Amino acid sequence: MSQSLSARAHARIIGMILSQQLPPGAALQEEKLADWLDMSRTPVREALKRIEAEGLARKDGRFLRVRQLTMAEVREIFTLRAALEGFGARQAVHLPRARLDEMADRVQALMRTGESEEQRRVDDDFHAMIARASGNATLERTIADLRLRTCMFDIHQVPERFAQGCSEHLGILDALAAGDAGLAEDRMVAHLRNAGAAVLGRLETLEAERTT
């Protein structure tokens, strides 16, 4: 199965959830969604597995049903991510320069192409690399779980964050390369606060659209 087809199904279903075309409580039925999206059931099934893992749906009898994150949950998640990933960045100054340069090259290449599938991979790898470098397996697992709950707000949902987010990644990598733990922490915290603000802005816009 094409990974891009599954990713496309995921993006479109997420959009339907955020716009409340699929409101909280709506059943996510493979067959019906496949018809709506004009796709086979296989990529839809894979997309639904991912949506369940991200915390936007939960099993209820035979079907998954939509569970939309509240603005309060988004605030809590990004506040916690900023604290944990900021700490992780402080511990990551020992990363080899070659690793940091390789990641910086990937971010710069991404900025040139803007390819959405690579954007998710680079973002995942960037945050995982720094969390892993902390040497704290519990921290790494916790960050990964929190990221699953917010990674649906990617380039498809908050496209205005793409260029700024890439620049912030490069700034964090520069601080790590310089061995400046405090600056790396500060830049990671700022990065996640900015990301959280963008997601909250997106949710506020959708709420305003629904009430007008």
Per-residue pLDDT reduced to its tens digit, 158-180: 888 999 999 999 999 999 999 99
Residue 1: predicted pLDDT: 46
Q: In this model, does residue 138 exceed pLDDT 70?
A: yes
Whether 105 and 181 share a structural domain? yes
Residue pair 107/126 in contact by the 8 Å Cβ criterion? yes
Split into its structural domains, the chain has a count of 2
**CB–CB of 46/9 below 8 Å?**
yes
| Mean pLDDT calculated for residue range 89-103 | 97
Mean pLDDT of 142-148: 89
What is the pTM assigned to this prediction?
A: 0.78
Angle at 54 between CA 74 and CA 39, to 5 degrees: 125
Beta bridge partners of 58: 65
Q: Could you tell me if 112 and 181 lie in one domain?
A: yes
Identify the pLDDT of residue 155: 65
pLDDT band of 125, cuts 50, 70, 90 = very high
Same domain, 58 and 84: no
Together in a domain, 38 and 88: no
Would you call 38 exposed, middle or buried from its count of C-beta atoms within 10 A (0-12, 13-18, 19+)?
exposed
Residue-wise pLDDT for 72-94, tens only, equals 999 999 999 999 999 999 999 99
Give dist(CA 189, CA 207) in Å, integer: 27
Same-domain pairing of 55 and 75: no
CATH value at residue 13? 1.10.10.10
The pLDDT of residue 9 is 94
Q: Are residues 141 and 118 in the same domain?
A: yes
Domain boundary residue, one of 49, 66, 83: 66
* β partners of residue 66: 57
Ramachandran region of residue 61, left (φ > 0), alpha (ψ -120 to 50) or beta? left
pLDDT greater than 50 at residue 64: yes
Q: Are residues 198 and 139 in the same domain?
A: yes
pLDDT above 60 (res 3): no
Same domain, 101 and 187: yes
Same domain, 182 and 133: yes
Confidence category of residue 211, pLDDT binned at 50, 70, 90: confident
- Determine contact, residues 203/71, Cβ cutoff 8 Å: yes
Of all residues in the chain, the percent with pLDDT exceeding 70 is: 94
Q: How far apart are CA 61 and CA 179, in angstroms?
A: 52
> Do the beta carbons of residue 198 and residue 154 sit within 8 Å?
no
Query: Which of 66, 83, 117 is where one domain is finished?
Result: 66
Indicate the residue among 50, 66, 82 that finishes a domain: 66
> What CATH number is attached to the domain comprising 173?
1.20.120.530
Instruction: Specify whether 108 is located in the same domain as 192.
Output: yes
Residues 6+ apart with CB under 8 A from 18: 68, 157, 202, 203, 206
Pairing of strands 27-28, 63-66: antiparallel
84 plus 138 within the same structural domain? yes
pLDDT band at 99 (very low <50, low <70, confident <90, very high): very high
CA-to-CA separations, 16 to 6, 100, 158, 183, in angstroms, rounded: 15, 37, 15, 39
State the residue range of the domain holding 105. 71-210
